[in-house]
Chains A and B, each alone.
Chain A
Amino acid sequence: MDTSFRLLPEQASTFAPDVDLLFAFLMLVSGLLSLGIAGVIVWFAIKYRRNSAADRRATPSHMLLLELSWIVGPFILSMILFVWGAKLFFAQRHPVEGALEISCVGRQWMWKFQHPNGRAEINALHVPLNQPVKINMISEDVIHSLYVPAFRVKQDVLPGRYSTLWFQASKVGRYHLFCAEYCGAKHSGMIGEVHVLEPTRYQEWLSDVVTGTPQMGGGGRLFDQLRCNTCHMTGGEVSRGPSLLNVAGRRVPLQNGQQVVADDDYLRESILRPAAKIVAGYHALMPSFEGQVSEEQILQLISEIKAMSQLDAKKPEGELKKE
């Protein structure tokens, strides 16, 4: 990691140059404004010091036009800044299609990441270069916040609710990963490193099971281990529970006549509190898995359910996108 003294952070994601350009513009504007104001104050303070011979005739007490100019001017400037900042933010909050999905669980005081093939790591995150990466995050206890300064991205990690963050790394190297939301005694120890690797190196790293952490669930599908398939047949035949093929990201009709989009939060809720939303045509038979599956296992189950959906090529574009 580059630990030399510097005044600006490294740029290691596609967001970084955009954010820095906006930052530079803001620096320019606020630098000119503050120097301008300070300059005028100092100039007046000297020129019109008590007992100076400056001309003080015709002192205005107010000037409507001048007042309006410093209302309208800052208004226009701030609207430019608002639109610029909002456009970038919008992109930061909407992951591109086909991003590599990595799940993340935060807890006091460590970060746990799991890659699509099941390889897990703690306080380190390996990602491929030049490939969009989306992180699905949840906390096991208090609020944390995943922050990678070199990528200019940050998102709070909440208990009981998924949040996501995405980026595309643009420079090979090792970068800081911090918890930015105060989370208790060892908050400043809840740190790690992001390793940006060439895509081929990333693939090697993923398949290097010898040195890697053992996979969750010992390699088999958690879906089968927990016997989800007893009720949720994966073949499409009629059974006690709704089929989970093609369900992720789709609209699901409910017993009460409402509809719900089967996003990550809905899938998680259906595992922990199955009775909360019953799918139309089914009964509340499923037992709760609360306390029986960890947050990591729920994330694993969700990614397995998503994998079942991705088998179906007819899936309409854009439905996976969720806010």
Chain B
Amino acid sequence: MNGAVITTRKRNYLNASYTVRSWLLTHDHKRIGLLYLIGVTFFFVIGGLAAAVVRLELMTPRGDLTESETYNKLFTMHGITMTFFFLIPAIPAVLGNFLVPLMLGARDLAFPRLNLLSWYLYMLGGLMTMWAILAGGVDTGWTFYTPYSSTYSNTYVMATAVGVFVAGFSSILTGLNFIVTTHQMRCPGLTWFRLPLFIWSMYAASLIMVLATPVLAAALLLVGLERGLGIGIFDPAMGGDPLLFQHLFWFYAHPAVYIMVLPAFGVISELVACFSRRRPFGYAFIGYSSFAIAILGFLVWGHHMFVSGQSVYAGLIFSLLSFLVAIPSGIKVFNWTATLYKASISWETPMLYAFGFMGLFTMGGLTGLFLACLAIDVHVHDTYFVVAHFHYIMVGGTVMAFLGGIHFWWPKMTGRMYPESWARLSAILIFVGFNLTFFPQFILGYLGMPRRYHIYPEEFQVLNVMSSAGASILGVGYFFPLTYLVWSMFYGAVAPENPFGHTGLEWQTASPPPTDNFEQIPVVTQEAYSFGPDDALRGPSEEVISIVQAS
């Protein structure tokens, strides 16, 4: 590559204008996607730093690094920033924003101004929460259980709740935008069954965002009413019911798990198809299973409440439904595995993340069966077993898919290639560090170590030290992409239109795409993932090399 290449490059959405104003007032879904990328990365770092202090504190059974009050604020900060300001927006708002119109052959989302508004709401909510943390912190845990949050906690609960409440509307608007865009703006010939699986899963996740998030808003509003105005809703001392909050919260927060993981499924379906050079095995089953998960996901919230004091019979029903939701998740894993059969698999970075995802998500999903199983859940509920389980889903699943997706679409987003060997190294580091961090926590949980414990009995120390050691490897693994991806924006090899040889419409336009995405609106004549016979043997890396050399 050389400077001449860059100067002769066509106008694209990045070089269309350079002013700060042109970014902050942009209606371009691709720029808004990048704004979101900056936002979620910022919050990921904040949440990660909180986790680092938590893991450092847990190296010893005593409370020698922080006070209990500080420790409680740290894990709360970790949970709130990671859940509401990283995991929920990560894939939908960054990759979804960037890719949904491109994959649909559209020039933008249906409501570009609404899209910009949702970024501002997200940042406003996030910064309000950060302010609450700086002003003194909040110590309720990300779950805000009442009556602790509504009556007893002396920390900045209201400010945090308002922050989360505001950010919730950004989720609702993003979901709405995706649903309307998918219905209205598909290019000619792009029928529902020709859609990439990423769109199917984004659509299912959008339905949950639109339907579930208002319930969280309502629950937080009620906490505010009780805390601010003394209206008895949850505190029995004021005639309220403490379990009502848990029902409202989990009615949102369980489907929210699927807001985080359904888009990850979409990413993995794309990665597996591309790097296997095969149409995903059982395309329709993968697509339908997203909807099965979205619907069943609304009916299982009570499995967070088996020991809460809800009726035994409610527990039985929620256990049964929770087992059923495992089936569509299993369908996905089995279908991805079957896609590899007689495929032509290359082991590039995004595919390494996809392999990692399949392994870790499988373990996360299978340990979910332990928790759906009533008698086991009684023992492991609120222990480190649960902590390990949801980190396998959220970090082993969603974060792996997010990083895999970021690498995969990085050339499209920035027009530059990332350094492959560094990227592979960090993918491996993340996989190893992750397992070392979280696997010991399964054992800790079955041994009975409760979660959110600042000080713990001595016999749990060995496993906690292993976990903290793993976390340091994981931290290094995350630090690498943060640096080499930024580096690659300036010094990376110039990316061709379609460096990985994938079939989606986003690869049929320039890298980076022009502001209105396509020179001409494409017309789709084939099914998704129609790899030609030549594709099966073509080495994408070689293609990259040849194009770079030719230029």
Q: B23 near A: Cβ within 8 Å?
A: no
The A-contacting residues of B in range 22-59, CB under 8 angstroms, are none
- Stretch of A31-39, A206-214, A277-285 at the chain-chain interface: A31-39
Chain B residues near A156 (CB-CB < 8 A): 307-309
For the complex, give the distance between the alpha carbons of A178 and B453 in Å: 10
Chain A residues near B453 (CB-CB < 8 A): 178, 187-188
Given A62-B284, A82-B373, also A89-B315 (CB < 8 A): yes
For the complex, give the distance between the alpha carbons of A50 and B340 in Å: 11
For the complex, give the distance between the alpha carbons of A4 and B477 in Å: 33
- Scoring A residues 173 to 189 as 1 if CB is less than 8 Å from chain B, else 0, what string do you get? 00010111111111111
Chain B residues near A19 (CB-CB < 8 A): 375-376, 378-379
The A-contacting residues of B in range 305-331, CB under 8 angstroms, are 306-309, 311-312, 315-316, 319-320, 323-324, 326-327, 330-331
- Scoring A residues 9 to 23 as 1 if CB is less than 8 Å from chain B, else 0, what string do you get? 100000100110011
For the complex, give the distance between the alpha carbons of A46 and B452 in Å: 42
Given A38-B359, A78-B326, A89-B374, also A159-B366 (CB < 8 A): no
Task: Tell me whether A9 and B446 are in contact (CB under 8 A).
Answer: yes
Task: Tell me whether A178 and B340 are in contact (CB under 8 A).
Answer: no
Task: Tell me whether A180 and B383 are in contact (CB under 8 A).
Answer: yes
Task: Tell me whether B458 and A176 are in contact (CB under 8 A).
Answer: no
Task: Tell me whether A182 and B145 are in contact (CB under 8 A).
Answer: yes
Task: Tell me whether B373 and A26 are in contact (CB under 8 A).
Answer: yes
Q: A56 near B: Cβ within 8 Å?
A: yes
Task: Tell me whether A149 and B448 are in contact (CB under 8 A).
Answer: yes
Closest to B70 in A: A185
For the complex, give the distance between the alpha carbons of A163 and B312 in Å: 12
Task: Tell me whether B237 and A159 are in contact (CB under 8 A).
Answer: yes
Task: Tell me whether B342 and A9 are in contact (CB under 8 A).
Answer: no
For the complex, give the distance between the alpha carbons of A156 and B335 in Å: 40
Task: Tell me whether A48 and B342 are in contact (CB under 8 A).
Answer: yes
The one of B152, B362, B450 that contacts A178, using a Cβ cutoff of 8 Å: B450
Chain B residues near A6 (CB-CB < 8 A): 447, 459
Task: Tell me whether A163 and B345 are in contact (CB under 8 A).
Answer: no
Q: B242 near A: Cβ within 8 Å?
A: yes
Q: B537 near A: Cβ within 8 Å?
A: yes
- Scoring B residues 339 to 371 as 1 if CB is less than 8 Å from chain A, else 0, what string do you get? 011111111000000010011001100110110
Q: For chain B, what secondary structure do more than half of its interface residues adopt (helix, strand, loop), or is it mixed?
A: helix
Task: Tell me whether B337 and A78 are in contact (CB under 8 A).
Answer: no
Task: Tell me whether B452 and A187 are in contact (CB under 8 A).
Answer: yes
Closest to B328 in A: A71
For the complex, give the distance between the alpha carbons of A18 and B373 in Å: 13
Given A182-B452, A187-B453, also A49-B347 (CB < 8 A): yes
Chain B residues near A85 (CB-CB < 8 A): 319, 372-377
Quote the shortest CB–CB distance from A109 to chain B (angstroms).
Answer: 10
Q: A256 near B: Cβ within 8 Å?
A: no
Chain B residues near A187 (CB-CB < 8 A): 68, 72, 452-454
Given A7-B443, A48-B343, A50-B539, also A41-B373 (CB < 8 A): no
Task: Tell me whether B462 and A149 are in contact (CB under 8 A).
Answer: no
- Stretch of A140-148, A231-239, A243-251, A303-311 at the chain-chain interface: A140-148
For the complex, give the distance between the alpha carbons of A56 and B345 in Å: 12
Given A155-B307, A188-B68, also A56-B375 (CB < 8 A): no
Q: A81 near B: Cβ within 8 Å?
A: yes
For the complex, give the distance between the alpha carbons of A30 and B367 in Å: 8
Task: Tell me whether A141 and B152 are in contact (CB under 8 A).
Answer: yes
Task: Tell me whether B448 and A89 are in contact (CB under 8 A).
Answer: no
Chain A residues near B338 (CB-CB < 8 A): 66
Pull 9 A–B residue pairs with CB atoms less than 8 Å apart, ordered by A. A4-B459, A5-B462, A34-B359, A49-B345, A82-B319, A154-B382, A180-B383, A188-B450, A188-B452
Residues in A lying within 8 Å of B, measured CB to CB: 3-9, 15, 18-19, 22-23, 26, 30, 33-34, 37-38, 40-41, 44-45, 48-51, 54-63, 66-67, 70-71, 74-75, 78-79, 81-82, 84-90, 92-94, 108, 141-143, 145, 147, 149-150, 152-156, 158-161, 163, 176, 178-189, 323
